Amino acid sequence: MTAALAVEGLTVTVGSTDLVRGVDLTVEPGRTLGLVGESGSGKSMTALAVMGLLPDPIRVAGGSVRVGGRDVVPLAEPERRTVRGAQVAMIYQEPMTALNPLMRIGPQIIEGLTAHGMAAPEARERAAETLDRVGLPVDRALRAYPHQLSGGMRQRAMIAVAVAPRPRVLIADEPTTALDVTIQRQVIDLVDELRREDGMAVVWITHDLGVVAHIADRTAVMYAGRVVEEGATADLFARPSHPYTAGLLRSLPVQRGAERPPLVQIGGLPPDLAHLPPGCPFEPRCPQRRDVCAGSEPPLLDRGPQRSACHVPPGEWTA
């Protein structure tokens, strides 16, 4: 089976600084990949590179991004526009900045469909059908401007814009951050339902490991611009093989009877990508560090069911 999305060796650069460093990601049709990590780890930059939306002077300096088997990195912008939206689409974190505030929701959906060759009458039908699928009142939503909808309704409207063309790949870049808990769950369940119905591949970018545990088949953990661990979500959560992943999991709130123990923090700060240390970027913060960690950056290797980039196997970790 051809992967819906296959990213190989992706490197994104600004000036002499690599913001994304040799990232490999694969998502099969109908599957969900969770992409997690602290702010500045390269998650959103990877997504923008896949979409071909990197702002100048940031650029893709190496690697490939295959959508349905076709490498879209070397395509000229007119060709990229035929892929963007129709084959790979994105849900953004803040709909008020992603939706056009001067256009009604219906025309925004229709415009995206007709731009990819759909006739206007069919596009109007698809727009109404998609608004119904995402749980919005069709007549009201077609005529509404973004500011006339609640936050949850705007997020559903943005999802409708993204999924109306039935893309192969849907990238969700922290789409529930600004929503309350109840609406967050509704949006998560909606995207998962659309994935099952349409067979889309989904890349869900988030800080929330609880969401990843709920929806993702596989999870990739990013740190300092690269993937440091990747594997099946159940395996990665049960037996992390990189100390950074283990630290993220320990920072989750845990209820033990009537008592909730204090959260465990990862000490220190993420590194400056313009001045990375010669060894493992996580070494200054790592409770498992050894002398070798300061001298060379470890490659991403198979460690049981996962791949991880760590010189110290989990069997040698100290408590």
How far is Cα 213 from Cα 94, in angstroms, rounded to an integer? 23
Per-residue pLDDT tens digits for 4-14: 999 999 999 99
Per-residue pLDDT tens digits for 138-148: 999 999 999 99
Is the CB of residue 47 less than 8 Å from the CB of residue 205?
yes
Is the CB of residue 211 less than 8 Å from the CB of residue 179?
no
Per-residue pLDDT tens digits for 50-99: 999 999 999 999 999 999 999 999 999 999 999 999 999 999 888 888 89
How far is Cα 199 from Cα 27, in angstroms, rounded to an integer? 12
* pLDDT for 93: 82
How far is Cα 38 from Cα 287, in angstroms, rounded to an integer? 18
Mean pLDDT over residues 301-307, rounded?
A: 90
* pLDDT for 255: 61
pTM for the full predicted model: 0.94
Q: Provide CB contacts within 8 A for 281, sequence distance 6+.
A: 223, 224, 271, 297
With residues binned 3-state (H G I as helix, E B as strand, rest as coil), the percentages for the chain, rounded to 5, are 35, 25, 40
Q: Which amino acid is at 102?
A: L
Structure token digits, residue 149: 């909808």
Tell which phi-psi region holds residue 98, choosing left (phi > 0), alpha (psi between -120 and 50) or beta: alpha
Is the CB of residue 159 less than 8 Å from the CB of residue 151?
no
How far is Cα 241 from Cα 107, in angstroms, rounded to an integer? 48
Q: What is the 3-state secondary structure (H, E, C) of 256-305?
A: ECCECCCCCCCCCCCCCHHHCCCCCCCHHHCCCCCHHHHCCCCCCEEECC
Per-residue pLDDT tens digits for 211-269: 899 999 999 999 999 999 999 999 999 999 999 999 999 888 776 666 777 778 898 99
Of 134, 181, 141, 180, the closest CA to residue 156 belongs to: 134
Mean pLDDT over residues 128-133, rounded?
A: 96
